[in-house]
Amino acid sequence: MTTAAADAPDRAGSYLAHGRGARSWLLSLDHKRIGVMYLVAIGASLLLGGVFALVLRLNLWRPSGGLVSNDGYNRLFTLHGAVMIFLFVIPGIPAALGNFVLPLQLGAKDVAFPRVNLLSFWLYALGAVLFVATLVAGGIDTGWTLYPPYSLESARGLGILLALGALFVVGFSSILTGLNFIATIHRMRPPGMGWFDLPLFLWALYATGLIQVIATPVLGITAAMGFLERVFHLGLFMPEYGGDPVLFQHFFWFYSHPAVYIMILPAMGVVSEVVSVFSRKPIFGYRFIAMSSIAIAVIGFLVWGHHMFVSGQSRTASVIFSGLTLLVAIPSAIKTFNWLATMYKGAIVLATPMVYVLTFFAIFAVGGLTGLFLGALATDVPLHDTYFVVAHFHFVMVGAVMTAFLAGLHYWWPKMTGRMYSERLGLVSAALTFVGFHLTFVPQFVAGVLGMPRRYATYAPAFAGHNRLSTVGAFVLASGLVVALYGLLRSLRTGRPAPANPWGAASLEWSASSPPPWDNFERTPHAPPGPYDYTGLRHVSDEVGWVRGEVTP
Amino acid sequence: MTGANVSERSAVAGQGGVHVLGPRILIGTAAALGVLTAITVGAAQVDLGRMNVVIALGIASAKATLVALYFMHLRWGARFHLVVLAGAVAFAVLLTAFVVLDTTEYQPDVRAKAAAAAPGGAPRP
Amino acid sequence: MSARHPTGAAEAGGSGDAGTGGAGPFLAHHFEDMGHQLETTTLGIWLFLGSEVLFFGGLFTAYGVYRANHPELFRYAHHFLDWRLGATNTLVLIGSSLSAAWAVRAAQLGRRRVLTATLLVTIALAVTFLVVKYIEYSHKLHEGIGWGASCHPSAEILATLPEHARALPVPARLGTFFAIYYLMTGLHGIHVLVGIALFAWIAARAGRGHFGPGYYGPVDAVALYWHLVDMIWIFLFPLFYLL
């Protein structure tokens, strides 16, 4: 069964054709279909959040604003943040790509709990509806961080209740996904695949799952407490009822800091996969990368107070948090050097996923390093609430995470759809994204250091140049995303049919056909020699792709 | 039962090697929990100052440990289950400890500001 | 030596449909055999319980913060709670954990009647817990003890406090104590209610003969959830009623 004909995609037998009609998708227990539904929903959230961003940037063209009212501006940046963070960056790679790839990389037929997986998706959808519904209820203008006392005052209207409900629901979705992935990785590995034979994408998803299960419940209880505070005036967070608003911040950031590692760890997992395959070299320092994922997950829980240096937090706590924050750079640096060492003396293939990954390195380095300025107590105080912070987190969330998302999307696109995307369009999108991204956010670092505050609809005229560059950049970045979307969608109709293994990768998902059949593998395959062991893999042709060993006629 | 690979697992399941709690362990654990409940109620009647909290939490922790080890058969189950429970408790304790540390550390700032704002004196508890 | 192993899948008692260990009507397609399915679902429920610990952990933190800053408030306010009702509920939940663990044993050994009986006992005790809670709550609310700003204890209930407490003025922040009290015991109560529903579902399935030595995962999972609910109360009882 290794002839060229058998390797050609059999769309009629794939998961795409297994069952037709809306119900077979919306109620599907197939992790691949759930992954695709997530991809569509997450893509829509990215577009929605992106539109908000473009309106914000247009308003910031003029120092006096004026495109939208100042209140409208506040509502826009609040929803931009909430939608992007909770509906795109946090679920993005695990839900859209992880759901599809994880069982395949394990040679499994599905995740451990398929019904829980479907529930996760519908909770996400409900949460998305609730966030968007806040627009109808008059909107929220508190920033995505929803700090009381402002957010819980009665004058705010009921939008805050919808937002808190959305947080609770989306949080639950995230917990269930993490739980599912952890259980699957523990209990559904194939014969021969021990822990240190796992592809690094799975180590990343595992570490992410640990954070999701441990951190997210605290977000849930915080949302519940905020909700009850607003409705029943319990007196937990509102000083006028005897509460302490700093308490909210502690609870909020206990989740929201580890949440950024929920965002970056899967991105790093994608990078590990792509950098090895497209350097045609085994990953350097496999164990270090694997263990550093766990280290990031654990250390990430110890640093949340660095968001609260100017909130009234005690000096004792601030000093402790600042010191611990500097520690988290270490495992990230370990990964970065290992990736670079992987490329060293490798046979680099500049396909779209690899180009995105190369841009990831440049951007993540800057994003990570600028985090040190914010983690160090003394330098954070003047930089807090300036555009320096905005630029820092966009560097890591957009420049690193979104870039890795696009890398992974292009990398696994042939597997998911059975089509090759156009390399030309992919490379154009990567270039536009890279240029647009820097044009957008580098001026923001400068403006922030010069003192421009964040979350303001208007600003001092001295910052006009920075803001205009940034606005132009935002549209270039948006065009890059549009080109990427266009290229991918176009491939669905006119893309070359993809072979099972178009890239010559060694992990198990590439032994299934592109796209895979409904139940992935007829029999549980044995683990490959190694997830990054390319010996014996040869490229036969573009149609047949890469195969291992002899091809029998 | 920590093996996740198919071949190891089937062998274990086939033997029916699963731990069943016997009546003595079940009733014994319940009885111990009842006794500890009586002790904690008794200890609370005596005023030992700050030690009351320590003793009560200590007894509660002992009770919870009995429930986890025996009723939830952690003693005979997969080690990772224990890691999950202990890890979750550890992070919950971390959250509580840091937040309580911080809040007690900044109370003087709160009181100072309140005193400055209301020259009549600090607010009542 | 109280542990026993079932002698073998096929011989372990006439439990009807689910006697076999390898496959069966309840084996999901993505698992190799029932043993695999059981291991995995048990891990799944433990992970969920881990998340529940953190969920309640936030509330224990709120308790810790307010107690650390206002210890005299807590020492005063706990007298409003009747420790005898609290202790009763503690024993009720311990009993229900015993019956839940016994139910798992019965399922593992294929003893259908014992399984049904222990499940019903668990439900009955859980309902008892909620009845006692209802009595406590309604009494307090009737006497004006709400939460936050709505906490105005009536003269009647103030008269029931011990002497040293009666001598003190009612603290202005009494509502904060009760906010935390209602929040924590209320959330716990909701978990008890969910537990009752889950046990009812399990009891219905047990009545249809679904469970036996080859398939008892759902019984075990619900029982594990229930034990966590018990563990949380084990901490709530002293923190509110005794200290």
Q: Among residues of chain A, what percentage have pLDDT more than 90?
A: 89
Query: Given this model, what pLDDT does residue B5 score?
Result: 45
Q: What is the DSSP letter of B123?
A: P
Q: What is the DSSP letter of A545?
A: E
| C4: pLDDT strictly greater than 70 | no
What does CATH list as the number for C59-242?
1.20.120.80
Residue A295 has φ and ψ, to the nearest 5°, of: -60, -45
| A2: pLDDT strictly greater than 50 | no
Structure tokens at A91: 């679920």
Domain boundaries, chain C: 59-242
Structure tokens at B29: 């654990």
| DSSP SS3 for A68 | coil
For residues A271 and C202, the answer to whether their CB atoms sit within 8 Å is no
Query: Given this model, what pLDDT does residue A525 score?
Result: 84
| A459: pLDDT strictly greater than 80 | yes
Q: Under an 8 A CB cutoff, do B4 and A187 touch? A: yes
Among candidates A191, A214, A317 on the partner chain, residue whose Cβ is nearest the Cβ of B102: A317
Q: Are residues B44 and B92 in the same domain?
A: no
Query: Given this model, what pLDDT does residue C183 score?
Result: 95
Mean pLDDT rounded to a whole number for chain A: 94
Structure tokens at B18: 């699963």
Mean pLDDT of A52-59: 97
Q: Which residues of C touch A235 (CB under 8 A)?
A: 147-149, 173, 175-176, 179
Q: Which residues of C touch B6 (CB under 8 A)?
A: 32, 36
Q: How far apart are CA C43 and CA C217, in angstroms?
A: 11
Determine contact: B6 vs chain C, CB below 8 A.
Answer: yes
Rounded to a whole number of angstroms, the CA Rg of chain A reads 23
Angle, helices C34-69 vs B6-14, to 10°: value is: 90
Mean pLDDT of C141-148: 91
For residues A452 and A466, the answer to whether their CB atoms sit within 8 Å is yes
Q: How far apart are CA A146 and CA A127, in angstroms?
A: 16
Q: Are residues B58 and B84 in the same domain?
A: no
Q: Which residues of A touch B91 (CB under 8 A)?
A: 214, 301
For residues C181 and C240, the answer to whether their CB atoms sit within 8 Å is yes
Q: What angle do CA A421, A424, A427 make, to 5 degrees?
A: 95
Q: A67 falls in which pLDDT band (50, 70, 90)?
A: very high
Q: How far apart are CA A199 and CA C148, in angstroms?
A: 52
Q: Where are the alpha helices (DSSP H) in C167-239?
A: 174-207, 217-237
Among candidates B4, B6, B105 on the partner chain, residue whose Cβ is nearest the Cβ of A317: B105
* In-domain check, residue B123: no
Query: Given this model, what pLDDT does residue A522 score?
Result: 78
Mean pLDDT of B39-48: 93
For residues A94 and A149, the answer to whether their CB atoms sit within 8 Å is no
Q: Are residues B25 and B67 in the same domain?
A: yes
For residues A413 and A489, the answer to whether their CB atoms sit within 8 Å is no
Q: Are residues B65 and B84 in the same domain?
A: no
For residues C9 and B16, the answer to whether their CB atoms sit within 8 Å is yes
Name chain A's partners: 3 or more CB pairs within 8 A: B, C
Mean pLDDT of C190-213: 96
| DSSP SS3 for C81 | coil
| B124: pLDDT strictly greater than 70 | no
Domain interval for residue B63: 21-77
| A3: pLDDT strictly greater than 70 | no
For residues C16 and B29, the answer to whether their CB atoms sit within 8 Å is no
Rounded to a whole number of angstroms, the CA Rg of chain C reads 22
Residue A9 has φ and ψ, to the nearest 5°, of: -65, 135
| A493: pLDDT strictly greater than 50 | yes
| A338: pLDDT strictly greater than 60 | yes
Q: Which residues of C touch A180 (CB under 8 A)?
A: 44
Query: Given this model, what pLDDT does residue A8 score?
Result: 43
| DSSP SS3 for A457 | coil
| A519: pLDDT strictly greater than 80 | yes
State how far residue A87 is from chain C, nearest Cα, in angstroms.
21
Structure tokens at A531: 């997830």
Q: C6 falls in which pLDDT band (50, 70, 90)?
A: very low
Q: What is the pLDDT of residues A215-244, one digit of tens each?
A: 999 999 999 999 999 998 888 999 988 899
| B2: pLDDT strictly greater than 90 | no
CA distances from A315 to A129, A383, B107 (A): 41, 18, 12
Q: Are residues B86 and B40 in the same domain?
A: no
Mean pLDDT of A308-317: 94
Alpha carbon dihedral C48, A306, A145, A469, in 10-degree steps, equals: -130
Query: Given this model, what pLDDT does residue C172 score?
Result: 86
| A478: pLDDT strictly greater than 60 | yes
Residue A418 has φ and ψ, to the nearest 5°, of: 75, 15
Structure tokens at C1: 């030596």
Query: Given this model, what pLDDT does residue C12 score?
Result: 34
Q: Compute the residue count for chain B.
A: 125
| B8: pLDDT strictly greater than 90 | no
Query: From the CB of residue A477, how many other CB atoms can be counted at a distance below 10 Å?
Result: 27
Q: What is the 3-state composition of chain A as percent helix, strand, coil, each rounded to the nearest 5?
A: 70, 5, 30
Q: How far apart are CA A122 and CA A118, in angstroms?
A: 6
Mean pLDDT of B45-60: 92
Query: Given this model, what pLDDT does residue C9 score?
Result: 35
Query: Given this model, what pLDDT does residue B7 score?
Result: 38
Among candidates A244, A246, A301 on the partner chain, residue whose Cβ is nearest the Cβ of B91: A301
Q: Are residues B25 and B73 in the same domain?
A: yes
By mean pLDDT, which of A393-397, A549-553, C52-56, C104-108 is the weakest? A549-553
Query: Given this model, what pLDDT does residue C10 score?
Result: 34
* In-domain check, residue B53: yes
For residue B38, give the nearest of C60, C75, C232, C94 by alpha carbon: C94
Q: Are residues B94 and B64 in the same domain?
A: no
Query: Given this model, what pLDDT does residue A548 score?
Result: 86
Q: Which residues of C touch A305 (CB under 8 A)?
A: none
Q: A544 falls in which pLDDT band (50, 70, 90)?
A: very high
Alpha carbon dihedral C28, A203, A299, A183, in 10-degree steps, equals: 10
Q: How far apart are CA B11 and CA A190, in angstroms?
A: 15
Q: Under an 8 A CB cutoff, do B91 and C57 touch? A: yes
By mean pLDDT, which of A421-425, B18-22, B78-82 is the weakest? B18-22
Q: Are residues B55 and B41 in the same domain?
A: yes
By mean pLDDT, which of A415-429, A445-459, C151-165 is the weakest? C151-165
Q: How far apart are CA C220 and CA A526, in angstroms?
A: 32
Q: Which residues of A touch B5 (CB under 8 A)?
A: 189-193
Mean pLDDT rounded to a whole number for chain C: 89
Mean pLDDT rounded to a whole number for chain B: 84
Q: Which residues of C touch A236 (CB under 8 A)?
A: 62, 176, 179-180, 183
For residue A260, give the nearest of A86, A49, A52 by alpha carbon: A86
Query: Given this model, what pLDDT does residue A89 score?
Result: 97
| C7: pLDDT strictly greater than 50 | no
Q: Which chain A residue lies closest to B106 (C-alpha atoms)? A: A314
For residues A34 and A97, the answer to whether their CB atoms sit within 8 Å is no
Mean pLDDT of C145-161: 89
* Chain centroid, CA C8 distance in Å: 33
Q: Are residues B54 and B27 in the same domain?
A: yes
Query: Given this model, what pLDDT does residue B19 score?
Result: 86
Query: Given this model, what pLDDT does residue C2 score?
Result: 31
| A504: pLDDT strictly greater than 80 | yes
Q: What is the DSSP letter of A528?
A: P
| A263: pLDDT strictly greater than 60 | yes
By mean pLDDT, which of A171-180, A527-536, B63-72 is the weakest? A527-536
Q: How far apart are CA A315 and CA B102, in angstroms?
A: 8
Mean pLDDT of C107-130: 97
Sign of the Cα torsion A255, A256, A261, A264 reads: positive
For residue A388, give the nearest of A436, A443, A347 by alpha carbon: A443
Q: Under an 8 A CB cutoff, do B4 and A254 touch? A: no
Q: What is the pLDDT of residues C72-101, one digit of tens each?
A: 999 999 999 999 999 999 999 999 999 999
As for the ipTM of the complex, it is 0.94
Query: Given this model, what pLDDT does residue A10 score?
Result: 53
Q: What is the pLDDT of residues A170-218, one digit of tens each?
A: 999 999 999 999 999 999 999 999 999 999 999 999 999 999 999 999 9
Q: Under an 8 A CB cutoff, do A191 and B106 touch? A: no
Q: Where are the alpha helices (DSSP H) in A137-244?
A: 159-187, 200-232
Q: Are residues B56 and B69 in the same domain?
A: yes
By mean pLDDT, which of A525-539, C186-200, C229-243 is the weakest? A525-539
Query: Given this model, what pLDDT does residue C173 score?
Result: 86
Q: C168 falls in which pLDDT band (50, 70, 90)?
A: confident
Q: How far apart are CA C83 and CA C179, in angstroms?
A: 19
Q: Are residues B63 and B94 in the same domain?
A: no
Contacts of A460 (CB under 8 A, 6+ apart): A63, A452
Q: Which domains does chain A have, with CATH numbers?
A: 18-548 (1.20.210.10)
Which C residues in the span 42-61 are in contact with B, Cβ-Cβ below 8 Å?
42-43, 46-47, 49-51, 53-54, 56-58, 60-61
Contacts of A200 (CB under 8 A, 6+ apart): A269, A272, A273, A283, A286, A289, A290, A293, A531
Q: Are residues B70 and B98 in the same domain?
A: no
Q: How far apart are CA A64 and CA A59, in angstroms?
A: 9
Query: Given this model, what pLDDT does residue B48 score?
Result: 87
Q: How far apart are CA A201 and CA A277, in angstroms?
A: 13
Domain count for chain B: 2
